[in-house]
Chain A
Amino acid sequence: MTEQVAVLSTWQSEFKLRHPSMTYVEQAQEAAAGCMAKVGMCPDDIDAIVYSLAPTAFMGVADADRWAIDHIFGAGKPMLRVHTGGATGGSVVQAAHALVRSGMYRTVMIVGAERISETPDAQKVLNQIFDPFYEKDMPLQTITAVALMANTYMRRHGITQEDVARLVVRQRRNALLNPHAHLKGNITVDDVMASPMIAYPFKLFDICPRSSGGAAMIVGNMDAARQWQTRPAFITGVGAVSDSNWIGDRIVPSAEYDFIDWKLMRVAGRAAFERAGITDPIHQVQVAEVYDAFSIQGLTQLEQLGFCASGTGFLLEGEGAWEMDGGQVAVCPSGGTLCTNPIAVAGLVRAIEAANQVMGTAGGHQVKNVRRSLATAVGGIAQFLTCSVFSHEPYEAH
Chain B
Amino acid sequence: MSKNLTPQSVITEEVTLRYDYALGEVAGTFMDGLKQRKILATRCSKSGMVYLPPRAFCERSFEKCDGWIEAGHEGVIEASTVVLRGFEGSRPPPIAVAFVRLDGVHSAIANYVEGLDLSDTERAMDRLAPGTRVRVQFVPEPQGRVTDFYFVLAQ
Direct A–B contact in complex, judged by CB atoms less than 8 Å apart: yes
Taking a contact as CB atoms under 8 Å apart, the answer to whether B106 and A155 are in contact is: no
Interface string of B102-119 (1 = CB under 8 A from A): 000011111110000000
- Asked if residues A139 and B53 are in contact (CB atoms below 8 Å), the reply is no
B81 contacts A248, C-beta separation under 8 Å: no
The distance in angstroms between the C-alpha atoms of A155 and B80, with both chains bound, is: 12
- Of B27, B106, B109, B121, which is within 8 A of A200 by CB? B121
- Cβ 8 A contact of A124, one of B15, B51, B89, B111: B89
Total residues of chain B contacting the partner, CB 8 A: 48
Query: In the complex, what residues of A have CB within 8 A of residue B125's CB?
Result: 151, 200-201
Complexed CA–CA distance, A151 and B90 (Å): 22
Q: How many interface residues does A have (CB within 8 Å)?
A: 39
Number of residue pairs spanning A and B whose beta carbons lie under 8 angstroms apart: 128
| B23 CB contacts on chain A under 8 angstroms | 133
Near B by CB (< 8 A), chain A positions 126-168 give 127, 131-135, 137-141, 144, 147-149, 151-152, 155
- Is A196 engaged at the interface, CB distance under 8 Å to the other chain? yes
Closest CB in chain A relative to B34 CB, distance in Å: 11
Instruction: Indicate whether B85 reaches chain A with its CB closer than 8 angstroms.
Output: yes
Q: In the assembled complex, which residues on chain A have CB atoms less than 8 Å from the CB atom of B85? A: 196-199
Digitize A71-112: 1 where CB-to-B-CB distance is under 8 Å, 0 elsewhere. Answer: 000000000000000000000000000000000000000000
Indicate whether B69 reaches chain A with its CB closer than 8 angstroms.
Answer: no
Q: Residue B129 at the A interface, CB < 8 A?
A: yes
Task: Report the nearest A residue to B48, measured CB to CB.
Answer: A254
Per-residue contact bits, chain B 126-155, to A (CB 8 Å; 1 contact, 0 not): 000110000000000000011100000000
- Residues on A with beta carbons closer than 8 Å to the beta carbon of B108: 247-249, 251-252
Whether A197 touches B84, Cβ cut-off 8 Å, given contacts A133-B31, A138-B147, A252-B78, is yes
Contact A197/B146 with A60-B15, A148-B99 known, Cβ cut-off 8 Å: no
A284 at the interface (CB under 8 A from B): no
Q: Is the CB of A186 closer than 8 A to any CB of chain B?
A: no
Does A67 belong to the interface (CB within 8 Å)? no
B78: A residues at CB distance < 8 A: 152, 248, 251-252
A-B contact pairs, 19 of them (CB 8 A): A60-B13, A121-B88, A123-B87, A133-B23, A133-B31, A134-B27, A137-B146, A138-B97, A139-B83, A139-B87, A200-B82, A200-B83, A200-B84, A246-B107, A247-B79, A248-B109, A248-B110, A249-B107, A251-B108
